[in-house]
Amino acid sequence: MKPLVPVSRARKVALGVGFFVVFVAAWSFATFGGFVSRTFLADPVTMLREGYALFAQYGFAKDVGITVWRVLGGFVIAAILGVPLGIAMGAFKPIEAFFEPFVSFARYLPASAFIPLLILWAGIGEAQKLLVIFIGVFFQIVLMVAVIVGSTRRELVEAAYTLGAGPRGIVQRVLLPNAAPQIAETLRLVLGWAWTYVIVAELIGASSGIGHMITDSQALLNTGQIIFGIIMIGLIGLVSDFAFKGANQKLFPWSLA
């Protein structure tokens, strides 16, 4: 192996799949071999059987649906409000000076610590779940977008000025298109965080969703279901990630990213 030498596409796929194989093999060895008590860790076959039962008998599809809806809801609201604010902060320094200190502070407030407060304010309905996700990702989006927009190469802006662009043209035709691929990349990253927050929100005070199923299964010592739920989240994350990546490549063909 030499540093930074690329691998062929086929080898890349084989290596990527290889790790999953090793992972499942180690898991099978530990469980089927009797090295780990079944009470604490179900084997892969049991996990799949439990997963099938979840969908077939317990209406798990509805839980998955509601969780996906919550993630998307909270994420979209945060993005709709956060991206424009971040752009404004990145483009206009007085706006940045006004918001930046507070946003930096708010960013460190742990969204999960707000859950008890949010339950008092918004009950245990959907509004509370969306709020947890919103608090978790909104401030991050704002700051990251502001940094991206603010780091536009000065020369591009200056070139646009010498071509007759005004402040409006600079924002719309230079800062925005320049930042767009990185903003999309940031949103892809943040969507992953939203998944963490939704499960936390569902672990406490929820009557539906993947997180709720996981807490229920814990009470029943059904580790197969718990693991299936966790893997389910991973799979959805993987799919959304691929979708995001594909969309970015389609939308921004000029970008190398």
Partner 1 sequence: MSELVVDGVGRTFAGVRGGAPTVALTPIALEVADNDFITILGPSGCGKSTLLRIVAGLDRPTVGRVLLDGVEVSEPGADRGMVFQSYTLFPWLTVEQNVRFGLNETGVPAVEQARMARHWIHKVGLDGFERHYPRMLSGGMQQRTAIARALANRPKILLLDEPFGALDHQTRGLMQELLLALWENEKTTVLFVTHDIEEAIFMAGRVVVMSARPGRVKADVAVPLAHPRHYTVKTTPAFSDLKARLTEEIRAEALKVEGAGIATA
Binding mask 171-210 for partner 1 (x = CB under 8 A): --xx--xx-x------------------------------
Which of the ranges 93-101, 112-120, 168-176, 184-192 carries the binding residues for partner 1, by CB under 8 A? 168-176
169 interacts with partner 1 by CB under 8 A: yes
Which of the ranges 41-49, 85-93, 138-146, 161-169 carries the binding residues for partner 1, by CB under 8 A? 161-169
Which of the ranges 96-104, 121-129, 156-164, 207-215 carries the binding residues for partner 1, by CB under 8 A? 156-164
**Residue selected from 22, 61, 163, 257 as contacting partner 1 according to rule CB under 8 A:** 163
Query: Taking a C-beta distance cutoff of 8 angstroms, is the pair 257, 248 a contact?
Result: yes
**Residue 1 vs 256, nearer CB to partner 1:** 256
Taking the C-alpha atoms of residue 116 and residue 240, their distance in angstroms, rounded to an integer, is 30
| Residues making contact with partner 1 (CB under 8 A) | 153, 155-156, 158-166, 169, 173-174, 177-178, 180, 252-256
